[in-house]
Amino acid sequence: MGVAHASIVRWTARHHPQTAEAWLLPVAAETWDGYLNDINGGHVTEEIGVRALEAATSGPIEEGSVGGGTGMNCYEFKGGSGTSSRIVEHDGTPYTVGVFVQANFGARHELAIAGVRLGDELADDNPLEEYFAPSGTGSVIAIVGTDAPLLPNQCKALARRVTLGLARTGTSGSHFSGDLFLAFSTANPGAFSPGSQTLFGGGRAYDELRFVPWGHMDPVFEAVVQATEEAVVNALVANESMTGYRDHRTPALPRERVAEILKARGVID
């Protein structure tokens, strides 16, 4: 996490030299991948972090065992990166609400998909059960992004709805799980005038923000919950089995078996 933090600072100073004298305080978060990865091997360097930032592009996001999601385990199946989004409308304007998760949490018996509890029927082939004590140890990072105009406290309210989406996949939130949820809005470009946030002021006499009224936030909350649930399932479905550090193995979610169970329960055709 410290290397990632330093990489962000280096990238910012390299590509935005006007901030070189600023006090840079980026956010870096972690989920533990020591079952599959040699976490103390020093394999990730600042330059690798910088290259990752420089390689970032817009467009569809690869899911599964990619990037920081490579060593993740979710419900004691192969976990990792997952994403989903929803479109909501306010006052005739459509807005996107997207959720990205790094899924590394949950015990096998908890797993639920589309409201169907699957853990007992998928209890076999679980090498993580003997490794982790207690079962379900892990963490999850969730990032909520939207172009809907929101106030900071409304973004905080979005982040808090992530828990509801995770719960739909079965977890009750393990005591030994470190969970971090962040939310941001890309709306209101130019709302803050140059100099208005500096120590000595400057800029316009007033800045202005446009925001969705609190009483109209329910569709946005619902979008976060639905997208979070789907992002976790996507992280599971996108994966294959993996053997990593010291031959530790994590099985992939048996997709065909899951489909058969959901068909038998009348959830899918």
Tell whether omega for the bond before 134 is within 30 degrees of 0, i.e. cis: yes
For residue 74, being part of any structural domain is answered with yes
Q: 85-101: per-residue pLDDT in tens?
A: 999 999 999 999 999 99
Cα–Cα distance list, 150 to 87, 95, 147, 202, 216 (Å): 15, 11, 9, 24, 11
For residue 152, being part of any structural domain is answered with yes
Q: 213-269: per-residue pLDDT in tens?
A: 999 999 999 999 999 999 999 999 999 999 999 999 999 999 999 999 999 999 998
For residue 201, being part of any structural domain is answered with no
pLDDT class of 156 with cuts at 50, 70, 90: very high
For residue 175, being part of any structural domain is answered with yes
* DSSP letter string, 49-82: HHHHHHT--SSPPP-BSSGGGTT-EETTEE-EEE
For residue 9, being part of any structural domain is answered with no
Could you tell me the residue range of the domain that residue 152 belongs to?
A: 58-187+208-264
Q: What angle do CA 147, 58, 193 make, to 5 degrees?
A: 45
For residue 28, being part of any structural domain is answered with no
Active-site annotation, residues: 139, 177, 179
- Per-residue pLDDT at 240: 97
Tell me if the pTM is above 0.85.
yes
Find the mean pLDDT for residues 137-153.
95
For residue 19, being part of any structural domain is answered with no
- Per-residue pLDDT at 227: 98
**Residue 223 burial class via C-beta count within 10 angstroms: exposed 0-12, middle 13-18, buried 19 and up:** buried
Above 90 in pLDDT, residue 110?
yes
Q: Quick one: the chain helix, strand, coil %, rounded to 5? A: 35, 20, 45
Above 90 in pLDDT, residue 8?
yes
Which helix (H) or strand (E) element contains residue 150? none
Q: 12-36: per-residue pLDDT in tens?
A: 999 988 876 778 999 999 999 999 9
Q: Is the dihedral of CA 56, 182, 100, 171 positive or negative?
A: positive
pLDDT class of 199 with cuts at 50, 70, 90: low
- Per-residue pLDDT at 132: 76
Cβ atoms < 10 Å from Cβ of 30: 16
For residue 141, being part of any structural domain is answered with yes
- Beta carbons of 187 and 210 less than 8 angstroms apart: yes
- Per-residue pLDDT at 18: 80
Which helix (H) or strand (E) element contains residue 169? none
Q: Domain with 78 in it: what CATH number?
A: 3.60.70.12
- Of 138 and 109, more confident: 109
119: which 2 tokens? 């853990």
Q: What is the DSSP letter of 234?
A: H
- Beta carbons of 97 and 144 less than 8 angstroms apart: yes
Alpha carbon distance 141, 155 (integer Å): 16
- Per-residue pLDDT at 207: 82
- Per-residue pLDDT at 200: 58
Query: Three-state SS for 168?
Result: helix
Count the residues in the chain. 269
How many independent structural domains does the chain possess? 1
- Per-residue pLDDT at 131: 87
Q: 33-73: per-residue pLDDT in tens?
A: 999 999 999 999 999 999 999 999 988 899 999 999 999 99
Mean pLDDT of the chain: 93
